[in-house]
């Protein structure tokens, strides 16, 4: 939301008052907090303290590298829940200090500090590293304010606030060349500078400014991040109202955010996810290929078996089969009952599927809505399990399901009932849940079971409690580390309940690229695991789109074939082309590659969740923060820390990509390229068929891989007969931490050079300088 008309004028219909000076500073007894009293005019006489608002700014040392900033106008305003669940694993201790000097008062929280100016009649707060070597951002003149809409002309009007909106806003400075990333799974430009962004979950697909996953965290390329502690709608003007500032505003009487100092982006994410929660571990089987029935397609047991048998006949390894919406009757979603006309014996069918070896696990689609055609609706309504309107009616509309209601997860009994429904699914053999929807949660004319919650805050936060409930139900049934979701909606903290997928995309190269931008942005908000609908959700992908998307999708952390009104099995895409570049062969190759990568990929995943980093797709800037170009790359990504992937977004197979400094070896052949360099039409022009794409391994890497044509994602890759070790331009510091399929750290492999021969922990490795592969 914009509050000004250019630099000089206030926007029409708005009244804005800014903190004009820091009148006084109070220090808490424990030395962890400063309270600043800031009037909206400079106080030069006693009379200036009358008939003017003040704003209170509290600076608090939270943990190492984290300071909170809370701005309040009227302290008597009720701060209703829900609140973000912060420090879920316990709050770290912090040594805070307050020092006064001629420059001002400095509050230090480990590695980060804030200095409040000592200049009289001045408003100035600077954030910097504790040692003073890094300037981060500032709150300067006219950077903290309150606003009314419509504009008030006298304070007397605020006696009745029912028709007046009240906002708190802050503006942090943007330095020259500063860039901003994150803010959830956003499909537009990767760098958010210049954008107006509303953090308000919406079901808008992947080709708009809306987002399913709005996360109130952004990352700067200057070594810090900002987490906005506000579940309600947050509006940001990222260099779009004032080009040198990030403006954050909320409707209400208070605004709180945390500044998090790295200085590296990886350190920022580690500290941010200590604050909001680290992702849970997911089982190794979930990394394999998932096949869906697609959305509106017609299917039954025969159709499902035909798909699965077709995949096995073609040597395409498949781990999970997913039943999408129409496993239930139309108009009855979501009543958790298999459609008897198509699935007369669901438990028997799922048992037969698993016993036949056609599939390892089964997933089903659900949402948290109940259509009124189902008898379940009557039960849920009578027992008070559904969200209500203020007049006592059940909240209903005909959007999505006719007359549907919304499960009220603030009601403990509704939660028990919902988990009971899930347990019946688990009893049939269901292993995983796709938690779809959860974005269109009304915030007007609604009454939650918990009368204390703020409906505006519940809109985004609903995604957290919905996914948390289902994830914990899976953990209760299958074990802490065996739970896995396929979730669409999210807010800050939902990374704790993996995994998330990118939502409804079209079957085009453009949608493939925007999906990648969404995954990169979400990864920069602490989400370790992410997937995408391979082939695109909407439309009918041609063979070229399908095969390029297969390459991209199988190199994400998780991989699912899914569509809207057409099947995604490869032989239906290109009339069962049996050539080496047909859809079947391409899917087989990259599915087997995923299985082969498991020793590397799963070990990278264990390290990633420990720190709150993305596995894949990982933005280049996380690995190469000093490389200015790496911050611009939104058409490529890192698969873990060692492998660079550049998907192909063209009909011709031509691709342009960037390699940071060092030597990079093609995963496919002996080619070694030198960075930093852009490679494309003019330099080392690469044109790829459908069996390859640019996949380059970083200098100094040790890769532990499975054997060629591996078809499992769960196997004992720690045994020599099940793996291969590759070295890529090794050096004395080359090492890798290896985990087994249970997520247990097994060993750390290190290299050493003896008389010109490289060894890995005493095992001789054949190595040719510049060669791509070295086996022992």
Catalytic hit among 229, 232, 337, 504: 504
Beta-bridge partners for 55: 38
Question: Which residue's structure tokens are 């958790």?
Answer: 336
The rounded distance, in Å, linking the Cα atoms of 326 and 324 is 6
Cβ count within 10 A of residue 98: 17
Q: Does the active-site annotation cover 431? A: no
C-alpha distances (whole Å) from 380 to each of 99, 335, 411, 648 are 58, 10, 11, 49
What does DSSP say about strands 320-323 and 361-366: parallel, antiparallel, or unpaired?
A: parallel
The rounded distance, in Å, linking the Cα atoms of 554 and 548 is 10
Q: What are phi and psi of 18, to 5 degrees?
A: -110, 150
Catalytic hit among 203, 436, 604, 623: 436
Q: What are phi and psi of 426, to 5 degrees?
A: -60, -35
Give the contacts of 671 (CB within 8 A, at least 6 positions apart). Answer: 665, 772
Give the contacts of 378 (CB within 8 A, at least 6 positions apart). Answer: none
Tell me the HSE value of 421 on the side-chain side, using a 13 A CA sphere: 24
What does DSSP say about strands 33-39 and 24-27: parallel, antiparallel, or unpaired?
A: antiparallel
Q: Does the active-site annotation cover 398? A: no
Buried b or exposed e, range 539-575, using 16+ CB within 10 angstroms: bebebbbbbbbbbbbbbbbbbbbbbbebbbbbbebbe
Specify the DSSP class assigned to residue 720.
G
Q: Answer whether 28's CB lies under 8 Å from 9's CB.
A: no
The rounded distance, in Å, linking the Cα atoms of 208 and 238 is 17
Q: Does the active-site annotation cover 70? A: no
Specify the DSSP class assigned to residue 681.
S
Catalytic hit among 203, 251, 431, 439: 439
The rounded distance, in Å, linking the Cα atoms of 664 and 673 is 5
Q: Which two tokens stand for residue 130?
A: 């504790």
Cα 48 to the center of its chain, rounded Å? 48
Length of the chain counted residue by residue: 776
Which active-site residues does the annotation give? 436, 439, 504
């Amino acid at each position: 939301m914009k509050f000004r008309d250019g630099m000089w004028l206030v926007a029409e219909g708005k009244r804005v008052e800014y903190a004009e000076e820091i009148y006084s500073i109070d220090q808490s007894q424990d030395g962890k907090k400063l309270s600043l009293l800031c009037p909206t005019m400079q106080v030069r006489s006693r009379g200036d303290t009358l008939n003017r608002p003040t704003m209170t700014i509290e600076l608090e040392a939270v943990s190492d590298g984290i300071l909170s900033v809370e701005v309040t106008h009227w302290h008597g305003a009720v701060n209703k829940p829900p609140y973000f669940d912060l420090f879920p694993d316990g709050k770290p201790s912090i040594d805070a200090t307050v020092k006064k000097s001629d420059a001002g008062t400095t509050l230090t929280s480990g590695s980060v500090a804030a200095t409040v100016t000592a200049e009289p009649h001045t408003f100035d707060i600077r954030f910097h590293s504790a040692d003073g070597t890094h300037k981060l951002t500032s709150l300067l003149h006219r950077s903290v304010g309150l606003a009314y809409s419509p504009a008030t002309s006298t304070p007397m009007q605020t006696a009745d606030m029912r028709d007046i909106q009240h906002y708190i806003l802050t503006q942090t400075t943007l330095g020259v060349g500063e860039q901003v990333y994150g803010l959830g799974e956003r499909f537009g430009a990767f760098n958010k500078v210049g954008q107006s962004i509303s953090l308000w979950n919406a079901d808008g697909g992947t080709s708009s400014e809306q987002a399913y996953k709005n996360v109130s965290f952004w990352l700067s390329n200057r070594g810090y991040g900002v987490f906005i502690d506000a579940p309600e709608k947050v509006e940001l003007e990222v260099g779009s109202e004032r080009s040198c500032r990030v403006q954050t505003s909320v409707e209400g009487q208070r605004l709180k955010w945390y500044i998090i100092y790295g200085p590296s982006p990886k350190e920022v994410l580690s500290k941010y996810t200590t604050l909001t929660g680290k992702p849970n571990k997911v089982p190794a089987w979930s990394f394999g290929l998932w096949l869906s029935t697609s959305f509106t397609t017609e299917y039954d047991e025969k159709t499902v078996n035909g798909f699965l048998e077709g995949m096995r006949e073609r040597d395409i390894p498949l781990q999970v089969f997913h039943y999408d919406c129409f496993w239930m009757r139309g108009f009855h979603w979501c009543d958790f009952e298999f459609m008897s006309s198509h699935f007369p014996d669901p438990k028997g069918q799922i048992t037969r599927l698993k016993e036949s070896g056609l599939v390892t696990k089964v997933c089903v689609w659900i949402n948290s809505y109940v259509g009124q055609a189902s008898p379940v609706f009557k039960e849920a309504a009578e027992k008070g399990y559904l969200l209500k309107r203020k007049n006592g009616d059940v909240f209903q509309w005909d959007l999505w399901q006719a007359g549907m209601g919304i499960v009220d997860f603030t009601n403990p009994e509704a939660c028990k009932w919902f988990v009971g429904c899930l347990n019946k699914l688990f009893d049939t053999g269901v292993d995983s849940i796709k938690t779809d929807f959860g974005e269109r949660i009304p915030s007007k004319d609604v009454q939650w079971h918990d009368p204390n919650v703020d409906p505006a805050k519940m809109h985004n936060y609903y995604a957290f409690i919905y996914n948390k409930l289902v994830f914990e139900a899976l953990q209760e049934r299958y074990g802490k580390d065996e739970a896995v979701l396929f979730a669409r909606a999210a807010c800050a903290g939902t990374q704790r309940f993996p995994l998330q997928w990118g939502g409804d995309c079209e079957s085009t190269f453009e949608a493939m690229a925007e999906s990648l931008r969404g995954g990169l942005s979400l990864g920069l908000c602490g989400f370790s695991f992410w997937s995408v609908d391979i082939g695109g959700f909407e439309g009918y992908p041609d063979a070229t789109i399908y095969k390029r998307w297969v390459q991209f999708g199988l190199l994400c952390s998780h991989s699912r074939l899914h569509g809207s009104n057409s099947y995604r099995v490869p032989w239906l895409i290109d009339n069962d082309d049996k050539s080496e570049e047909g859809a079947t062969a391409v899917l087989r190759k990259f599915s087997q590659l995923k299985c082969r990568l498991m020793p590397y990929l799963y070990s990278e995943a264990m390290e990633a969740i420990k720190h709150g980093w993305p596995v894949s797709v990982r933005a280049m800037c996380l690995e190469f923060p000093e490389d200015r170009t790496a911050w611009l790359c939104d058409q490529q990504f890192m698969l873990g820390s060692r492998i660079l992937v550049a998907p192909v977004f063209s009909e011709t197979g031509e691709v342009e990509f960037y390699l940071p400094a060092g030597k990079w070896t093609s995963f496919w052949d002996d080619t070694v390229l030198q960075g930093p360099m852009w490679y494309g039409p003019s330099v080392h022009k690469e044109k790829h068929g459908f069996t390859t794409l640019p996949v380059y391994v970083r200098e100094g890497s040790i890769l532990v891989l499975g054997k060629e044509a591996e078809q499992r994602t769960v196997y004992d890759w720690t045994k020599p007969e099940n793996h291969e070790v590759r070295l890529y331009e090794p050096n004395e510091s080359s090492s890798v931490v290896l985990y087994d399929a249970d997520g247990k750290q097994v060993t750390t492999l290190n290299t050493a050079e003896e008389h010109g021969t490289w060894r890995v922990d005493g095992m001789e490795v054949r190595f040719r300088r510049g060669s791509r592969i070295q086996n022992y």
